[in-house]
Structure 1
């Protein structure tokens, strides 16, 4: 609105959208973890190690996402959660590369 000098925004829906985004992130990482374990398990002990690493990484990232997804009230911004989740996603990329390299040997 021009002329009022104030920003008008509906703060009521923003926390809900943020929580839903964190839930989608947790769901996507769950699917990636399940696929990683599924691809890693039929094989040698290195595959089992990759699968175990995927489960541990999934648990850590899910814990971070779950706290943000189930929070009530005003959505928090900042903090170390987003970089840690991005680091977890990068960890899944590394596990994927290891799976591809294991398949090439």
Structure 2
């Protein structure tokens, strides 16, 4: 945890697990400046009003976009994608052809 960020400046990471957030500052970012990574994390918001204060933002660079699983991170549904930041479902995350089509590097 760096200030109000749980994960900062990650490159080429796969993150899986569960994160529970009971309280947070208004400027909380769960993930910030993540590049070429896959975030497959369930995030529990104990106070649903925090959802508007939680953001996941991508950094610059890296050979492929960061992908985030919206089936597990439901607060991201409806967010806008960028060339560096792609939102996928559980089914899409398991589909290598789909991931390659959106530019995510698949390593056999």
Which TM bucket (shorter chain)?
under 0.3
Structure (1 or 2) with the larger CA radius of gyration: 1
Structure-1-length-normalised TM-score: 0.21
Higher-helix-fraction structure = 1
Comparing both chains, which one has the higher relative contact order based on Cα–Cα distances under 8 Å and sequence gaps of 6 or more? 1
> TM-score by structure 2 length?
0.21
